[in-house]
Homo-oligomer: A and B are copies of this chain.
Amino acid sequence: MTAAVKLAEAQDNLAQEMRDIGVRARAAASDLAHASTQAKNGALTAMAGHIRAGAEGILKANAQDIEAARAKGRGSAFIDRLALDQGRIEAMAEGLEAIAKLDDPVGDVIGQWERPNGLKIQRVRVPLGVIGIIYESRPNVTADAGALSLKAGNAVILRSGSESLGSARAIHACLVKGLTDAGLPEAAIQVVPSTDRAAVGAMLQGLDGAIDVIVPRGGKSLVERVQRDARVPVFGHLEGLCHVYVDRGADLAKAEAIAVNAKMRRTGICGAAETLLVDRACAKTHLKPLVTALIEAGCEVRGDSDVEAADARVKPASDADWGTEYLDAVISAKLVDGVEGAIQHIATHGSQHTDSIVTEDDAVAETFLRRVDSAIVLHNASTQFADGGEFGMGAEIGIATGKMHARGPVGVEQLTSFKYVVRGSGQTRPA
- In the complex, the answer to whether A377 meets B426 with C-beta atoms within 8 Å is no
Q: Which of B113, B426, B431 contacts A265 (CB 8 A)?
A: B431
Are the CB atoms of B376 and A419 closer together than 8 Å? yes
With beta carbons under 8 angstroms apart, the residue of B253, B261, B420 that contacts A376 is B420
State whether A379 and B422 are in contact (beta carbons under 8 Å apart), knowing that A403-B212, A404-B212, A404-B405 are contacts in the complex.
yes
Interface residues on A, range: 35 or more
Are the CB atoms of A429 and B265 closer together than 8 Å?
A: yes
Q: What is the copy number of this chain in the assembly?
A: 2
| Residue among A260, A262, A385 with the highest chain B CB neighbour number at 10 A | A385
Q: Which residue of B lies closest to A254 (CB)?
A: B426
Residue of B nearest to A115 (CB): B392
Q: Which of A113, A379, A382, A428 has the most CB of B within 10 A?
A: A428
Contacts of A248 in B (CB 8 A): none
Partner of A258, one of B30, B347, B428: B428
Q: Check A369 for interface membership: any CB of B closer than 8 A.
A: yes
Query: Which residues of A come within 8 Å of B, CB atoms?
Result: 30, 33-34, 107, 113, 115, 119, 121, 126, 128-129, 212-213, 231, 233, 251, 253-254, 257-258, 260-262, 265, 347, 365, 369-371, 373-382, 384-385, 390-392, 403-405, 407-408, 417-429, 431
The 3 closest A-B pairs by CB, nearest first: A381-B424, A261-B428, A403-B417
9 interchain pairs (CB within 8 A)?
Answer: A115-B390, A231-B231, A254-B426, A265-B431, A378-B424, A380-B424, A380-B427, A407-B418, A407-B419
